[in-house]
Amino acid sequence: MFYRESGDFKTTYAKDTQTFPIKLDRVGYYIILAVAFIAIPLLLITDTGGGASYWTNAIFLPFLIWAIAAIGLNILVGYCGQLSLGSGGFMAVGAYASYKLMTSFPDLNILFVVILSGAITAGVGILFGLPSLRIKGFYLAVATLAAQFFLVWLFNKVPWFYNYSASGQISAPTRSFFGFEVTGATASAEAKYLFCLVLLFCVAWVARNLTRGRIGRSWMAIRDMDIAAEIIGVAPLKTKLSAFGVSSFFIGIAGSLFFTVYLGAVEVGEAFGIQKSFLLLFMIIIGGLGSIFGSIIGAAFMVLMPVLLKIILVDQLNWATDIAAHFQFVIVGALIIIFLILEPHGLAQLWRLLKEKLRLWPFPH
């Protein structure tokens, strides 16, 4: 009886259309923000035994960065219905753009480096999104897959992108944000965590408002039936290219953070190969297509699952590490089949159904 709209009166249009109409949802949202922005950084600061570095590098940073990338891909695939398999290549664009910006403009603030890297990736995404006016479905997926292989080949074969380094590897210089180092070997765990967390919060907030507005409705109209959408006045090319641009912008930000804050040094074939594109696609399928919340929980699932499997199978049951790694693929494949057949909207829809049941509990109808 505690999860109800009863007594939660709406006196303005803004309150009536807010993201969390039930008070308990809003309270839970603020508690999660308090834990993320206050409690976790304090734990990272006070931990002197080396655990902070492990938790940050193994769980927190990958989750935050992949959540940003998943939101970007979900805008294109889940909201606009344009299947893409080139996300790894677009992340590589963000990484190499940030590397060139950091080495060419040493005084440029790291925040502007990340945003400009996203903008450059958005331009590349729009360029590769041009065929979407004529092709769709499987053929568009193949076209974006070609973009993936072309971009990885480009960054491998053109020495200018890695400043003619003999190894072909790029390394992120040390950069600070408000006096705290967020890139480089000496950057603290809490500084890197908070930097990525703030960007994830901003990306999720922008994406949520875009999908609720006119642009988001245009994306969904194209997704549901592009011919009918064109008849009622939605411009297909403009709408599809805007989805490619916004999606690539967010994915470029994730690629920039993946290189500068998380890894520090990358080689494009290993860091941004085709497996990253499929990993990102699996996140939004399991989390939920057409859902910002689904993108976040999908990223959390795919980041936490290998860690939990290692603890259970390797540490507790003494399985071989390679067998546990292969078992992870079995679980992911089975979940994708189950969700696509039984619940195409993923974990986010299961969460919605649970909340609907709570709103009626203990009554059956």
Domain residue limits, the chain: 53-273
Residue listed under structure tokens 């979940």 = 335
Kindly tell me if the per-residue pLDDT of 333 is higher than 60.
Answer: yes
Predicted pLDDT at 248: 96
Helix (H, G, I), strand (E, B) or coil at 304: helix
Predicted pLDDT at 316: 86
Tell me which of 44 and 201 has the higher pLDDT: 201
Predicted pLDDT at 348: 92
Kindly tell me if the per-residue pLDDT of 328 is higher than 80.
Answer: yes
Predicted pLDDT at 155: 93
> How many Å is the Cα radius of gyration of the chain?
21
CA distance 63 to 69: 10
Distance set, CA 217 to CA 83, 208, 224, 273, 281 (Å)? 18, 12, 10, 33, 22
Predicted pLDDT at 150: 94
Kindly tell me if the per-residue pLDDT of 187 is higher than 80.
Answer: yes
Burial class, 343, CB count within 10 angstroms (exposed 0-12 / middle 13-18 / buried 19+):
middle
Helices (H) and strands (E) in the chain, counts: 17, 4
Over range 178-183, report the average pLDDT. Answer: 88
Helix (H, G, I), strand (E, B) or coil at 45: helix
Over range 206-210, report the average pLDDT. Answer: 94
Which residues lie below 8 Å from residue 9, measured CB to CB, with a gap of 6+?
none
Helix 61-74 / helix 87-104 crossing angle, nearest 10 deg: 120
CA distance 168 to 157: 9
What residue type is 365 in one-letter code?
H
310-324 residue pLDDT tens: 888 888 888 888 888
Q: What is the mean pLDDT of the chain?
A: 89
Over range 11-22, report the average pLDDT. Answer: 78
Kindly tell me if the per-residue pLDDT of 5 is higher than 80.
Answer: no
Kindly tell me if the per-residue pLDDT of 50 is higher than 90.
Answer: no
CA distance 299 to 37: 19
Residue listed under structure tokens 């590349």 = 124
Structure-derived torsion over alpha carbons of residues 204, 246, 217, 85, reported in degrees to the nearest 10: -100
Considering the entire predicted model, what is its pTM?
Answer: 0.94
What φ, ψ does residue 247 adopt, rounded to 5°? -60, -50
CA distance 28 to 33: 9
